[in-house]
Amino acid sequence: MVDSIQNYLIALWELTMEMSPYLLLGFLIAGVLHVYFPKDKVAKYLGKNNFRSTLNAALIGIPLPLCSCGVIPTGVSFYKNGASKGSSVSFLISTPQTGVDSIMATYALLGLPLAIIRPVIALITGVVGGLFTNSVAEKEATIPIKKQAEEDQTIKNDGKNRLKSMMHYAFVEFMQDISKWLVIGLLLAALMAVLIPDDFFTNYLGNEYLSMAIVLVASVPLYVCATGSVPIAAVLLMKGLSPGAAIVFLMAGPATNAATITVIGNVLGKKTLMSYMASIISGALFFGILVNEFLPREWFTGFIMDGHASHGAHLLPNWLSISSAILLIGLIMNGYLQNFLKRKKIVENDIGMKGKIIKVNGMTCNHCKANVENNLGSLAGIEHIEIDLDSGKVKMTGEEIDLAEVKNKVESIGYQYEGEV
């Protein structure tokens, strides 16, 4: 028992050390994108039912550090601000599969070939899915394009506070969004490394295409972020899972979950949902088969079998890996501490507060929070909004708050209005 716990902790620490330097760099790049990416100019590039709009949507989405929880309000917002259904679907497919943080993590644990292949697959499946949606979805008049509200109220004047905004987003806000799923991914990966026998898939599930189908069925309804899926895929490859099945997991896991499916069906329509799901499932199987049949297996398994722990040692000094791991753990703990202090402050402010408190389901990250704040803040009569992500409570103050308008606004951006509490 003691040996098993020790082996588990060693595996967990090794995975954390390998990913940490690349994750921290990915978070920093995410902060740069957040501050300098022109969100208010996006919709005009996505408004037509043509190849260029779907391509633009995929290219915009690939580097963005949004998982399927955060991509829902962003994609719906694009659609509400003039993006076509095809370009919206292209964005929704391509964005959660990758991101600067997950690309860095993929390079750290899975090697350069997969770090290149993942964004390429995201680009192709996004564009094809968008074009397919344009051909089958209901035709509709283009929504007049208007300026999109800034999700995060990024500094837009002389830029003197941009560095502070960039660092806060990268290592506080975004860290809070991703830390839960990153930690879960690392814990599961270390557990599988200890419990699953070597060559498990080769000995007990020898048919590569059966394993691919099983992985697909398991991945579609579950939530796993692009970065959190990387250590799990690395361990599964070590245990004998085929590279093609790993591709299926890395694509279908982050791109789909039950919440995403529900929102797309409600907001964009059933035909759009069908084209979205068909594009992801067929794309995952196609690229999985392509990788298994036509690409050298050594591109993927050779890197893993050589010992993924040696990768960081070859490229980075050991002190850097250790210090990065300690820093990452400290930042994750700081994120949870900030959330605790924020919840405590909100509870204290509840006493004697005038206004309305409602419950909204479906908010899972700071992108969701900012999206609800910005949309409700645009309604007449609402002067101030406070949101607690954990409880889903939205506290609004103002002279005359129309809850019917609030309900319509919340549901129009893809969340569930649960009424006043």
Collapsing DSSP states into helix, strand and coil, what is residue 395? strand
The mean per-residue pLDDT over the stretch 384-389 comes to 86
Residue 261 is encoded by which pair of tokens? 């499916």
Spatial CA neighbour of 46 closest among 81, 70, 71, 73: 81
- Could you give the percent of the chain with pLDDT greater than 70? 83
Residue 417 or residue 38, greater confidence: 417
Taking the C-alpha atoms of residue 219 and residue 385, their distance in angstroms, rounded to an integer, is 36
pLDDT, the chain, mean: 80
The pLDDT value given to residue 22: 80
The pLDDT value given to residue 77: 66
Q: Going along 150-284, which residue ranges are E strands?
A: none
Residue 411: CB atoms within 10 Å: 14
Q: How confident is the model at residue 148 (pLDDT cuts 50, 70, 90)?
A: very low
- Asked if pLDDT for residue 161 goes beyond 90, the answer is no
The mean per-residue pLDDT over the stretch 308-324 comes to 67
Taking the C-alpha atoms of residue 190 and residue 85, their distance in angstroms, rounded to an integer, is 40
The pLDDT value given to residue 157: 47
The pLDDT value given to residue 146: 39
Angle formed at CA 397 by CA 396 and CA 400, multiple of 5 degrees: 105
The pLDDT value given to residue 338: 84
The pLDDT value given to residue 294: 93
pTM recorded for the entire structure: 0.72
**128 contacts: CB under 8 Å, gap ≥ 6:** 279, 283
**Which strands sit side by side in the sheet containing 356-361, from one edge to the other?**
384-388, 393-397, 356-361, 416-420
- Asked if pLDDT for residue 94 goes beyond 90, the answer is yes
Domains and CATH numbers, the chain: 2-328 (no CATH), 352-420 (3.30.70.100)
Taking the C-alpha atoms of residue 58 and residue 60, their distance in angstroms, rounded to an integer, is 5
**137 contacts: CB under 8 Å, gap ≥ 6:** 85, 86, 268, 269, 271, 272, 275
